[in-house]
Structure 1
Amino acid sequence: MTFTALLLDNPQFRRVWIAQVVSQLGDWFNAVAVYALLLDLTGSATLVAAMMVVQLLPLALVSPMAGVVVDRMSRRTLMIGADLARAVLFAGLVFVRSADQIWLAFVLVTLGVIATAFFEPARTAMLPDVVPREHLMTANALSAATWAVMLTIGASVGGAVTVLVGRDAAFVCNGLSFLASAAALRGLHVVETHHTQPRDAASTGVRDGLAYLRRHPATIALLSIKAVWAVAGGMMLLLTVFGQRVFATTPGETAARGIGVLFAARGVGAIGGALLARAVQGRDAARLKALVPWCYGIAALGYLTLANAPTLWAGALAVVWAHVFGTLLWVLSSVLLQLVVEARVRGRIFAVELALHTFVSAAAILLTGYGLDNLHIAPRTLATWLGAFFLAPAAAWAMAPRVGRGLRLRR
């Protein structure tokens, strides 16, 4: 099934997709405006770095408990509540007017990210109730493509809005985007299967979720896919350094151009990966699992090529290549978990996945920065190490056929 056909034929999924589009567009509006706010009021790059951490760390800390709530409540209701909370919180950034009010920006963003920790696992866990199993690959691929397009468009449009009409307009637009998302979800009609399965309150707790993982070790392996790929977070930091130092022939203008080209290449690769994911739809869980080592290995070759690329455009092509297969890996992880995890525990599993990915990504960024600034390791050397790292999970998955036999579709 094509993306267009899925959107036209499934009005319930269309509502979920519209909610994703408008909220992620608002997210990128907000990111540009918040960084500009911090720099304009304080001039501190350290505060910008701290805000980046704030945009990651609460997801990792709150997600496990958020998963429990996702499995106990109506996921649709929870998503609408999270949207309404984010609308108020992010629009509230208009009240930050001076350097001594910066603390308020950190509080509002932290609370908004906590709301996201409830929204995202609920959205992913609910998808099998909205889309037939045979269309899950298309739905997740479209979700990945949408993220990539919003990254490419949202940041540039957000920057333009911030420059032309001011930060406050960007903050208000972000708040309105979450109201639009809530409005789309309000008309969503879906039978949430985790409500139809018999359970008691204890069965929706954290310990029950951990017990489920102990009984299903193949699910633990699937949880590791995105967590291991999150090491590529270090490569995201390296892309800025490659644009600024490695591929810069003159100071200033070329540095900005190089960073923009490499991040745009990341978005293009993500779109390509989403299209490739749709091309492999219809395969069963074991056959999808067989693609995992290939994705790790081919993405590794892309990063190794970047490490040795002689020019900016050669490096950009390598980034596109790596992120085509990195995005396919991301989609495979989501689809496999949706296919094999029981509905009653799906929220907790996706919450754990989000927490693991966020922790590893933040750690990879910090370690890469430490290697660059404190150990003075050359960017090309770090890129080579990171690229070579992904050959290890490629080999591990290729040599673990029993994982595939542990995957069983859930009714």
Structure 2
Amino acid sequence: MSSFQIFRTNPAFRRYWTARSVSLVGDGIATVALLLLITGSGASATGVAALLLAQAVPRFFGPVAGALPDRFEVKRLLLLAELGQGAVFVAIALVPSNVALLVPLVALSSALATVFNAAGRTVMPRLVDEPQLMPANAWMGTAFNLQAALGPVLGGTVAALLDPRGALLVNAVSFFVGAALLLGLPRMEPSGASAGDRPGFLAGIGAGIAFTWQHRTARAIFLLLLFGIMFASLDNVVLVFLSRDVLEAGPFGFGLLGTGAGAAMVAASLWLTRPTAKFSAVALLAGGWIIAGLGIALTGAAPVLAVAVVTQAVMGLGNSIAMIGEETLLQKAVPAEMLGRVGGSLSSAAFAGSALAYAVGGFVAAAVSPRTSLLVAGIGLAVVTLLCLPGLRAGGRGETPPAADGQAVGAAPSPSA
């Protein structure tokens, strides 16, 4: 069976994948264009930080967004979030380049993206059969990785040709194209209990957080994302200092390091789309993070730029494999009616881990050398993964989940061995 079989036999998946690919590449373009717009307007470093903060803060409300797919039709949520982001980016492109105006608009866009991501967590089990989850998630990982691989270079190119405002309008169009493609998806009813048996909205949010903590596999993924990404994100903070001060690579060399990681992420996700790629979700998640940790640690020991590019590719390879394993394990180990809320909690854990890294990363980089910082980051990521492994493996043994919304829930389907 070909890797592309799922595209030929499943038009709904084909539409969803294409919609996400278009929107995600547009997001990559917008990230570059926003920074060019705000810095070109003469904003200070504080203004740039405020813009980045506006992107990050709404992501912490993942548990709130995660409760929405249990109460509203999922396709409608996806469409509203996509169209809303398109409208917001039209506004961003048209308003004056003033931090006071841009920050609330960027925050609104990030909030809509959080809603889309939470609803999107529930889509894949609705569109594909369980045996197809792994290759389907690998293809979705490819779409996500295209954002990192193509978005920045396209953003710089489009901004140079059309100016940053034109690039932001291109991103807005990508959302409208994505929404048009999503219109062809089937209706997806709320995954929670019927309206009469459904708890209040706040109670539903609390139930999702409680379920995440009580479910052994979900809790293990939560802790792995929180502390694992805290260590992994130190790579983002320290790498620029390694490139500049240790390897003396300059801006072009620093760009090569990112290119190596991005290319490896795309290659890994494409590799896992093959029908012959038979791995358990647990092996992919844990193995991927350990490979990523090894790549980060080896980057710290790289004697020259060429070696560092290779070790960053190892990091990107592991990162991509881990993301695909995480999605597949979550979809197989957590009941469908809790996927949105658990996914929202996990998204918040990931962003909290990044925030912790960015909060302490500067102090770590100042206290020890870049090489030592990367060694600590790589070893820390591997250790966190090993500590969380027993909880991850519980999902592979068919863990019986705790009760959801006060109702008894049957045993969750287990991942393939």
Q: TM-score, normalised by structure 2?
A: 0.88
User: 2: CA distance between counterparts of 1:203 and 1:350?
Assistant: 19
Residue 394, structure 1, aligned to residue 385, structure 2: yes
Match in the other structure for 1:144: 141
Q: Report the alpha carbon displacement of residue 181 of structure 1 after superposing the two structures with TM.
A: 0.8
Q: Report the alpha carbon displacement of residue 215 of structure 1 after superposing the two structures with TM.
A: 4.7
Match in the other structure for 1:335: 328
Q: Report the alpha carbon displacement of residue 357 of structure 1 after superposing the two structures with TM.
A: 0.4
How do 1:9-408 residues align onto structure 2 when only pairs under 5 Å count? Answer: 9-60=9-60, 62-98=61-97, 101-192=98-189, 194=191, 200-202=197-199, 205-213=204-212, 215-231=214-230, 232-248=232-248, 254-278=249-273, 287-372=280-365, 375-398=366-389, 402=394, 404-407=396-399
Contact 1:16 1:184 in 2 (8 A): yes
User: 1: CA distance between counterparts of 2:290 and 2:271?
Assistant: 16
Deviation sequence 1:288-325 (CA, Å, 0-9, x none): 32444433332222111100101111001001112211
Q: Report the alpha carbon displacement of residue 207 of structure 1 after superposing the two structures with TM.
A: 2.5
Deviation sequence 1:316-336 (CA, Å, 0-9, x none): 100111221121111111101
Residue 25 of structure 2 aligns to which amino acid in structure 1?
L
Residue 263 of structure 2 aligns to which amino acid in structure 1?
V
Task: From the superposition, tell whether residues 95 and 193 of structure 1 become closer, same or farther in structure 2 (CA, over 3 Å).
Answer: closer
User: 2: CA distance between counterparts of 1:379 and 1:241?
Assistant: 6
Residue 111 of structure 1 aligns to which amino acid in structure 2?
L
User: 2: CA distance between counterparts of 1:106 and 1:364?
Assistant: 23
Q: Report the alpha carbon displacement of residue 270 of structure 1 after superposing the two structures with TM.
A: 1.0
Residue segments in structure 1 that go unaligned for 5+ positions in a row: 249-253
Q: Report the alpha carbon displacement of residue 396 of structure 1 after superposing the two structures with TM.
A: 1.8
Contact 1:126 1:192 in 2 (8 A): no
Deviation sequence 1:251-291 (CA, Å, 0-9, x none): xxx5211121011111112113313433587868xx43244
User: 2: CA distance between counterparts of 1:397 and 1:116?
Assistant: 29
Task: From the superposition, tell whether residues 237 and 281 of structure 1 become closer, same or farther in structure 2 (CA, over 3 Å).
Answer: farther
* Deviates most, 30-39 or 392-401: 392-401
Deviation sequence 1:189-226 (CA, Å, 0-9, x none): 14447268787220761122234335522321133343
Task: From the superposition, tell whether residues 399 and 124 of structure 1 become closer, same or farther in structure 2 (CA, over 3 Å).
Answer: closer
> Which structure has greater helix proportion?
1
User: 2: CA distance between counterparts of 1:228 and 1:200?
Assistant: 36
3-state SS of 2:67 partner: helix
- Equivalent pairs counted in the alignment come to 399
Contact 1:125 1:347 in 2 (8 A): yes
3-state SS of 1:125 partner: coil
Task: From the superposition, tell whether residues 78 and 292 of structure 1 become closer, same or farther in structure 2 (CA, over 3 Å).
Answer: closer
3-state SS of 1:55 partner: helix
Q: Report the alpha carbon displacement of residue 397 of structure 1 after superposing the two structures with TM.
A: 4.1
Contact 1:129 1:193 in 2 (8 A): no
User: 2: CA distance between counterparts of 1:397 and 1:94?
Assistant: 44
Residue 223 of structure 1 aligns to which amino acid in structure 2?
F
User: 2: CA distance between counterparts of 1:406 and 1:344?
Assistant: 17
**Amino-acid identity (%):** 26
Q: Report the alpha carbon displacement of residue 33 of structure 1 after superposing the two structures with TM.
A: 1.1
Residue 302 of structure 1 aligns to which amino acid in structure 2?
G
Residue 246 of structure 1 aligns to which amino acid in structure 2?
V
User: 2: CA distance between counterparts of 1:90 and 1:281?
Assistant: 41
Task: From the superposition, tell whether residues 153 and 296 of structure 1 become closer, same or farther in structure 2 (CA, over 3 Å).
Answer: closer
Task: From the superposition, tell whether residues 215 and 380 of structure 1 become closer, same or farther in structure 2 (CA, over 3 Å).
Answer: closer
User: 2: CA distance between counterparts of 1:197 and 1:136?
Assistant: 27
